[in-house]
Each structure stands twice: as C-alpha cells, then as structure tokens.
Amino acid sequence: MSDRSIRFTHAITRAPGASVTAGLRAVDTGMPDLALMQRHHAQYVACLRETGAEVIELPALEQFPDALFVEDTALCLPEGAVVMRPGAPTRLGEAAQMAPHLEALYDQVLWIKGPGTIEAGDILTTEREILVGRSARTDALGIAELADLVAPWGYRLREVITPPGVLHFKTDCALLDPETILSTARLADSGCFAGYKLINTAPGEEAAANVIRFNDRVLMPAGFPQTAERLAAAGFDVHLIGNSECAKLDGGMSCLSLRFSPPR
C-alpha cells in the first residue's frame, strides 16, 4: 500500500496576526495570548521542517482573524489542489488568498464555486478514500461539488457526519498511518471508520484527537498524557506542541498547515 496520505514534501503555514483575538470560537474560554501563540506556532513549524519538508511560511493576514488555520482553505492531493469555499462568512475570503501559493506549485488548481460550502477541516484523506464530514461549515452541495472535481483523479469520496457541536470532522479524528485512525469515541461510535484500525482518545481527552501524521512524526497538542502514551505504546514518534492559545479558537494541529507533495 502506498503511504502518500502521510508522507509530504511540502507544508504551508500562515503566521498568526494581532487580529487573531477576534477569531471565531464556539465558547469563550479566554482571550488568546498572541506572543504565546507565536511561540507555539514557531515550535510547530520547526517540527514540520525537521522532517526534511519544505515549509512555506506565509505572513499574517490581519483582515482575516482565523487565517492562520490554513488547512480550511484547500484540499491538496498529489494530482492537484482544490480551493475550498469556507462556510464561515468571515473566512470566505481566505481561500482566494491561498490560491496563488498553490498555483505556484501545482499545474491543476480547481475551485469549489458554490453555492455549497466546504472547509477542508472536514476532510480526511486516507489511502483508499476521502471522507468528508457534513458539519455546520460543510454542506451536502459542497461535498457533492468536491466529489465531482476529484472523481477524474480517481478518488472515491464518502460523506460522513461530523458530531453535533464539533467544529470539523478532523477536530475529532486523524490518520496515523495508512490503516490506523485516532478518533474520539463519540465519532468512532458512528461506525464511520469500519475497516480501519482504531485508537481512541483517552476518556476526557477528546481534544487530543486533532493530531497530524507528518512523515515519520505525529504532532500532538501538549496536555493529553494518556492519549500520548497510547500513541507512543503503538509505536508512533509523538512530538508535543503547545496549543493552548489556538485551542481557545477551536484550532489544533491539522488546522495550522496544508500538507502535500506537489507533482513538480
């Protein structure tokens, strides 16, 4: 089996700006501390870069407070990239800001044109399929449009459900290797991962589910020792990254980068 769902030559990140304090959040758990977030972000970028990948660091976009969460703007596959159409009105313009950076690396950059919406935080790409969670940000029309765009590249897309009250599908799950998924119990209980090996987050550590497998590493938010131990015991090379400030904006490890291997 190939492992292109976990091995990447490139990543794109975007620095948090001062406007991040106005970022979207489901519940107010305190104002993000920009300086601490910048330190965590630098730790995250360094961890990606240490795997040998090229990390393209984009400058902050002050007019878009959530723009550091670049993952939501695009789906990057080996064949091409698809620019998303975010469902949060304040985030809609972020996608067009990302497009030129993808066009510099890919021959094929397609766009979700609407009227549906879709954010790539709701998309989990595995070796065998693309799972898309319908959520408050991602609707049936957006999913259908994505399915049509990626079908010529040979991808099978499966619609699943993001748990109620959860921001994105990948808030609650992550691909650890081509066969193994880390998931919260509330998402795994839906049965959507039948056929995969599963590791559940430890009870009370649901926020640990949003990790990324990036080359030989698993980047994981600090503060979830039982889940970290489960991953280490399963043989994964776990790297803990501070995430306290992004967590105040419902952001995590996957949200902070686009990870891909462009064809040229």
Q: Is residue 22 a contact point for ligand GLY (CB under 6 A)?
A: no
Distance CA 143, CA 139 (A): 6
101 is catalytic: no
Assess 205 for contact with ligand GLY (CB under 6 A).
no
The answer to the question of residue 130 lying near ligand GLY (CB under 6 A) is no
Residue 94 found at the interface with ligand GLY (CB under 6 A)? no
88 binds ligand GLY (CB under 6 A): yes
Contacts of residue 23, defined as CB under 8 A and 6 or more positions apart, other chains included, come to 32, 65, 66, 249, 251
Catalytic residue selected from 40, 168, 173, 239: 168
Minimum CB–partner distance for residue 198 and ligand GLY (Å): 26
Q: Which of 116, 120, 72 is nearest to 94 (CA)?
A: 72
Task: Report in angstroms how near the CB of residue 191 gets to ligand GLY at its nearest.
Answer: 27
Site map (CB under 6 A) of ligand GLY, residues 144-173, x = contact: -----------------------x------
239-258 residues near ligand GLY, rule: CB under 6 A: 249-251
The answer to whether 177 contacts ligand GLY (rule: CB under 6 A) is no
Shortest approach of ligand GLY to residue 232 CB, angstroms?
Answer: 29
Distance CA 180, CA 134 (A): 22
Please give the span between the terminal C-alpha atoms of the chain, in angstroms, as a whole number.
23
Residue (205 or 250) nearer to ligand GLY, CB: 250
Joined tokens for residue 160: 């699943």
47: its two tokens: 């961890």
Q: Residue 37 Cβ, how far from ligand GLY at the closest point, in Å?
A: 12
Which residues, in sequence order, are bridge partners of residue 82? Answer: 75, 110
Does 34 interact with ligand GLY (rule: CB under 6 A)? no
How many other C-beta atoms can be found within 10 angstroms of the C-beta atom of residue 197?
12
- The answer to whether the beta carbons of residues 220 and 254 sit under 8 Å apart is no
Among 16, 17, 23, 242, binds ligand GLY (CB under 6 A): 23
Segment lying near ligand GLY (by CB under 6 A), choices 19-27, 31-39, 172-180, 181-189: 19-27
What is the closest distance, in whole angstroms, from the C-beta atom of residue 208 to ligand GLY in the complex? 18
255 catalytic per annotation: yes
- Note whether 69 binds ligand GLY by CB under 6 A: yes
Residue 72 has what DSSP assignment? G
Chain-centre distance of CA 87, in angstroms?
A: 15
Dihedral, CA of residue 29, residue 182, residue 232 and residue 205, to nearest 10:
30
Which amino acid appears at position 78 of this protein?
A: P
- Which CA distances in Å does 169 have to 81, 102, 135, 161, 175? 20, 23, 8, 7, 12
Task: Give me the residues that bind ligand GLY (CB under 6 A), please.
Answer: 23-25, 66, 69, 88, 91, 167, 249-251
Q: Show which residues are catalytic.
A: 168, 255
